[in-house]
Amino acid sequence: MRMLACPPACGPILTCLVALALLAGCSSNDPVARGRVEAFDSRFDITLIGVNRQRAAEITELLAEDFRQMETAWHAWRSSPVTRMNALFNESDRPFPAPPSVLPLLKLSKQLAGQSDQLFNPAIGHLVRAWGFQGRSPGCLEPPSQDLIEQVVADRPTMDDIHVEGFRVWSDNQTVKLDFRAIQRGFAIDRAMVRLQELGVDNASIAVDGDVYVIGSRDGNPWSIGVRGPGGGGIFATLQLAGSEAAFTAGRYKNNFAWEGDIYHDIIDPRTGYPAQGTASVTVLHSNASTADAAATALFIAGPGEWHRLARQMGIRYVMLTDTEGRVYMNPAMHDRVKLQRATADIIISEPLS
């Protein structure tokens, strides 16, 4: 395996902060309490229905500790079980015991990567790190060298290169480097919702950077959420969610930097090593936040020409994709649920997904 060099980070890397804030709320029937947790370089806003403020504070503290442990376990570039796995992958193809804190996430990621034709690909951590989208200020970023990109693309690391047998794991491609950034927040939210239900909370939402997962209802009514515009500004559309459902959006506006007149975003196409082209944003609904998170990334990379085939392959039933020309693509079921807040000339309704 050739050594891979990455652009140096600019300034110190900040450790995760955990902050709690309970905010007063009101409702016609049930009390509303809100908590806030900072993890994965993001702010998770937690809304609990029918829970008093004291109990909500206790629950938020429990979730904060859960999120802290998950971030510590899955971190791709500070010392963690994931970085130790990556070091072992790089050294040899011999099996080793997989960390219990990583194994469930690894197994689900392998499954979703296979369903997405490896467009959702957590094995391209070398590329992600080279582009600098890990704890670095946008003002410090620049594209990596063409040689590095070509090297990783030629080695073609995928989740199929990682093998799991019981509690043992190994890779037969030494360029594999795990980075779960395209699924870890969804997976963390799934776990948090399980925790909430174990604690007796049946109506709640957890939102982060425009993505949200809800359970139950809000005072008997569906949850209403806004979807940002493809450029990241304002509300482009609204959706109603009920029961157990997640809405996740992948957008080029979420994390990007400018270099020599061009904008580079953080959704890397593993086939080219560069940010995916042709798509501005994708919103996916699913009953599982992990799947919605990973599928939004995969369909963004698939683009206007391949999103429908890949969505069917991944078992996705609700998709809205906006391309870089402003055209909006939706399957009929999604069209029935979306209320666009802006006039859009080109709305393309696909064949049904189910």
pLDDT at 140: 76
- pLDDT one-digit tens code per residue, 119-148: 999 999 999 999 987 766 666 788 899 999
Domain for residue 37, yes or no?
Answer: no
- Which residues constitute the domain of residue 100? 78-171
Instruction: Check residue 25 and give its pLDDT.
Output: 41
User: Is 255 inside any structural domain?
Assistant: no
Query: What pLDDT does residue 299 have?
Result: 98
Evaluate whether residue 146 is within a structural domain: yes
Q: Is residue 325 domain-resident?
A: no
Instruction: Provide the pLDDT for residue 262.
Output: 85
Number of domains in the chain: 1
Residue 31 confidence (pLDDT): 85
Q: Is residue 99 part of a domain?
A: yes
Identify the pLDDT of residue 137: 62
- Specify the pLDDT at position 29: 56
DSSP 29-95: SS-EEEEEEEETTEEEEEEEES--HHHHHHHHHHHHHHHHHHHHHH-SSSSSHHHHHHHHHHH-S--
Q: For 173-197, how does the pLDDT look when each residue is reduced to its tens digit (9 = 90+)?
A: 999 999 999 999 999 999 999 999 9
Q: What is the CATH number of the domain that holds 131?
A: 1.10.3980.10
The residue ranges of the chain whose pLDDT is under 50 are 1-28
Instruction: Tell me the β-bridge partners of 25.
Output: none
Residue 122 lies in a domain: yes
Q: Please indicate, yes or no, if residue 155 is contained in any of the structural domains.
A: yes
Q: Residue 297 falls within a domain, yes or no?
A: no
- Residue 216's DSSP bridge partners are 243
